[in-house]
Amino acid sequence: MIRTKWNKYVLQAAAGLLAACNVYAQSNPSLKITGDPADITTPTRGGVVLIGGGGNVDGAFKWMIDRSGGGDVVVIRASGDYLYNDDIAKLGKVNSVETLLINSRDVANDDKVANTIRNAEMLFITGGDQSNYMNFWRNTKTSEAINYLLNQKKVPVGGTSAGCAVLSGFYYSGETGSATADILNDPFDKNVTLYNNDFLQPPYLKNVLTDQHYTQRRRQGRHVTFLSRIINDWKVFPKGIAPDERTAVCIDDNGKAQVIGEGKAYFLITDAATAPEQVKAGESLQWKANQKAIRVYEIQGSATGAGSFSVADFDAAKAKGGTWYWWWVDKGVWQQSPADKFVIVVHGGAGTILKSKMTPEKEAAYKKGLQQALEAGYAKWKTGAPALDAVEAAVRVLEDNPLFNAGKGAVFTHDGKNELDASIMNGKTLQAGAVAGVKTLRHPISAARAVMEKSEHVMMVGAGAEQFAKEAGMEIVKPEYFRTEERWKQLQQAIKEDEQKAKLDHSYHKAGTINVDNKFGTVGCVVLDKSGFIAAGTSTGGMTNKKYGRVGDSPIIGAGTYANGTVGISCTGWGEFYIRSVVAYDLAAQMEYKGFTVQDAGKSVIAKVGKLGGDGGLIALDVNGNVAMPFNTEGMYRGTVTAEGKIAIEIYKN
């Protein structure tokens, strides 16, 4: 009884406090003024900033402050506090920053509130609940004041998260609950609440629908569904703009957009020629259009602004600094493919690869080696050969190149021997083969394939693997074939330094000693063939100065290599951590069970390796030709080929 009465008193007190706060907000909506409260007028340049939420983007605020001429900044919200005051004031010279709490239609229609907004030289709409913004501000003096700033006074206006959601002609209110990608299975789900140009009218964004927290919350599918409903309901083919978290799209008064921040932003274009095939209540969205339903431009942000996209007309020819993709939906499943579809990806190891320590001659030699591998694989691919053929061809080239720690370039064990490992996997059938600890096989990748295709086993090791390979017709060489002077010097240096723990490849070297690139060994390749099947292969010379018959991740299916009908992966790095994390399979599983893109899954698994203390990277290629090449080291030797034969090779961090 006492507890019940106490709870009742607490609730009554809380209700009274809330009511008092509301009365205060209505009588004094200004939460705080930082700076000079006296109004000033400065010359301004218009602009719109769309921030994806998840944290401030300092560069975007500086962009707005610059366009405000240092005048008065107003922050508006329907709940919360005044923390943006200090955040904005410290980023540039402004006369003042004032936060208004506009949490009812009465406050939104207050003349003082409206005049405060009209007198601003910069306006920022915080995150929160966009349904409150719609319910409290729409068709009030507040919305009139915001539109005045946007279209007449022309000052920079920005919004983050919910504030970004309402800064476009079409907008999603979220009034019945947050829509997720599940609406792909029913575009008429009750949470699909869309509105058409009845609130704010930012320049150039009349037929645009924004979305936020984009890849972090995997909102591509829901965004596409929203666009399909706009087409279905209003017979308009809309555009889309969607920034990632901590990322901003900054649109100037000419409609030119740049991307500021740590993530990416996406610009979506729909067209009547590729309209949705099915938008029906209770049925999955179908918007395939020959896998070219929506054209999407992706721009990676930077601290000062990257890329360029014309929001004024969404003219694809004017886009710069990004990558084009095609998106589509097949039976309720969102999918994407790069316009330049990748079909082969290779790597030659990851590690502390510093441009300052690389001679131009050696860099050119590494790039030439990668290019030769890509060309060998592509020559097979062009003929329509199975993915396995192209993987084997590319890896054999790298095994013959002494620059890479595989085959001819294998490092030495503590006993002065060369021990090689390799694995290969067929994504079409889930067949796999591997060899480990072999000393006389010129091409371990070919021996691994022989294990897969000519035996009932998956892995063979040592002398038994060599005997099997010899009987299968593999090329046998004398152990001294693998000796190179550079690798021998590396072993002597390792022994001299008497390291307590062996390091991968030649990562033990200090700057200025024998090998200044400090890369982890291993080579690998993933191929998507013309029939849509994937294969992956990995080969390595192991670890410099290793002892006791150590075997790393490269020959272990699921750790260093994996392929299925969705994706293929080849890893490079500190093998023990890749084995413990089952990295290659984990990436595939995240795509299958969590719905991650290959890029998101790649980042996730490398982050796991890093948290355990491991270093390295990987290459991955999915069934739609999307590629991922994440690494947590200074660099990774890597290269790609598109279906059209366009080769790209990189070494360092971008």
Question: Which listed residue (522, 538, 540, 561) is catalytic?
Answer: 522
Query: Which of 613, 404, 639 is CA-nearest to residue 519?
Result: 404
Question: Per the annotation, does 329 bind a ligand?
Answer: no
Query: Which of 229, 133, 162, 218 is CA-nearest to residue 189?
Result: 229
Residue 383 falls in the annotated catalytic set = no
Alpha-carbon dihedral 216, 220, 226, 231, rounded to 10 degrees: 160
Which residues contact residue 245 at a Cβ distance below 8 angstroms, ignoring those fewer than 6 apart?
Answer: 52, 53, 54, 55, 212, 213, 214, 216, 263
Question: Per the annotation, does 451 bind a ligand?
Answer: no
Question: Per the annotation, does 573 bind a ligand?
Answer: yes
Query: Which of 161, 180, 181 is CA-nearest to residue 171?
Result: 161
Question: Per the annotation, does 217 bind a ligand?
Answer: no
Query: In angstroms, rounded to a whole number, what is the distance separating the alpha carbons of residues 265 and 301?
Result: 7
Q: Report which DSSP code applies to 268.
A: E
Question: Per the annotation, does 572 bind a ligand?
Answer: yes
- Angle of helix 583-594 relative to helix 598-612, nearest 10 degrees? 140
Query: Which of 604, 555, 601, 586 is CA-nearest to residue 425?
Result: 555
Q: Are 526 and 391 in contact (CB under 8 A)?
A: yes
Query: Which stretches does DSSP call E strand in 281-373?
Result: 294-300, 306-310, 323-330, 333-338, 342-351
Question: Per the annotation, does 575 bind a ligand?
Answer: yes
Question: Per the annotation, does 553 bind a ligand?
Answer: yes
| Number of C-beta neighbours around residue 586 at 10 A | 20
Using the CB atoms, write b or e for 250-266: b if 16+ within 10 Å: bbbbebbbbbbbbbbbb
Angle at 434 between CA 554 and CA 533, to 5 degrees: 90
User: Cα–chain-centroid distance for residue 457?
Assistant: 37
Q: Tokens at residue 519, please?
A: 């890369």
Query: In angstroms, rounded to a whole number, what is the distance separating the alpha carbons of residues 602 and 527?
Result: 17
CB neighbour class for 167 (10 Å; exposed up to 12, middle 13-18, buried from 19) = buried
Question: Per the annotation, does 574 bind a ligand?
Answer: yes
Summarize the annotated binding site as residue ranges: 550-553, 572-575
Summarize the annotated binding site for substrate as residue ranges: 550-553, 572-575
Residues labelled catalytic:
522
